[in-house]
């Protein structure tokens, strides 16, 4: 994959470039066909929600997920986030670590929009999924687009924290090749791995320490 060399100033600029690429055209054709007979999550208007809520110039932190939740009323375009109080196991563990790290009482809601509005890009590497079929839209083209996103962010001068939980997210580390940024790696917060190094890893305080060190306002991780 060729590294992005054009200076991208907004997410819309990136999308405008990519939408004419053969892989992206093929991806959209695939999704149009799938929508005719299958239920796809999140809703079409939310496929790029992470980018609408967190403009490129505002990005301070990136939290990479894999693909959207595949159950009804869960995915809404932000990694790990749901708009309900019925929390998925991984998000429950993220909230537990938030309490361990910063003594923040776990929120009732799973909606992470307040993080996104502060500059936390909550991006899955695959932006859609078929209902009840996890990983069903892998290798359809989304990974090419989201890798371009990481490349664009890596080239920026302003310091950014990349939080990579689990092997899948960590595979994107190779696209972050700018010493201005901080990469925080760790186990995935899923119940299968959270007790193998995720709990007690302090990613939230480490992120804020780095931002403050570089004169960037820290993230208020509380969900009110």
Distance separating alpha carbons of residues 42 and 52, to the nearest angstrom: 14
Which residue is associated with the tokens 């007979």?
37
Please write down the HEC assignment for all residues of the chain.
CCCCCCCCCCHHHHHHHHCCCHHHHHHHHHHHHHHHHCCEECCHHHCCHHHHHCCHHHCCEEEEECCCCCCCCCCCCCCCCCCCCCCCHHHHHHHHHHHHHHCCCCCCCCCCHHHHHCCEEEEECCCCEECCECCCCCCCCHHHHHHHHHHHHHCCCCCCEEEEEHHHHHCCHHHCCCCCCEEEEECCCCCCCHHHCCCCCCHHHHHHHHHHHCCCCCCCCCCC
Which member of 16, 46, 67, 111 is catalytic?
67
- Does residue 209 carry a catalytic annotation? no
Q: Which residues are catalytic?
A: 67
């Amino acid at each position: 994959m060729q590294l992005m060399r054009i200076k991208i100033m907004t997410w819309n600029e990136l999308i405008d470039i990519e939408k004419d690429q053969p892989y992206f055209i093929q991806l959209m054709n695939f999704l149009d066909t799938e929508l005719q007979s299958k239920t796809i999550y999140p809703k079409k208007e939310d496929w790029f929600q992470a980018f609408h809520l967190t403009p490129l110039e505002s990005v301070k932190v990136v939290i990479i997920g894999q693909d959207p939740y595949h159950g009804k009323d869960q995915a809404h375009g932000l990694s790990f986030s749901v708009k309900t109080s019925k929390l998925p196991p991984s998000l429950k563990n993220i909230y537990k670590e938030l309490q361990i790290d910063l003594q923040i009482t776990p929120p009732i809601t799973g909606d992470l929009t307040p993080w996104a509005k502060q500059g936390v890009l909550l991006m899955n590497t695959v932006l859609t999924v078929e209902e009840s079929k996890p990983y069903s839209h892998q290798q359809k083209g989304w990974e090419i687009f989201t890798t371009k996103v990481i490349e664009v962010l890596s080239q920026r001068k302003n310091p950014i924290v990349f939080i990579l939980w689990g092997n899948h997210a960590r595979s994107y580390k190779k696209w972050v090749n700018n010493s201005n940024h901080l990469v925080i790696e760790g186990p995935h917060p899923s119940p299968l791995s959270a007790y193998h190094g995720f709990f007690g890893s302090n990613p939230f305080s480490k992120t804020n320490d780095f931002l403050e060190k570089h004169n960037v306002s820290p993230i208020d991780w509380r969900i009110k």
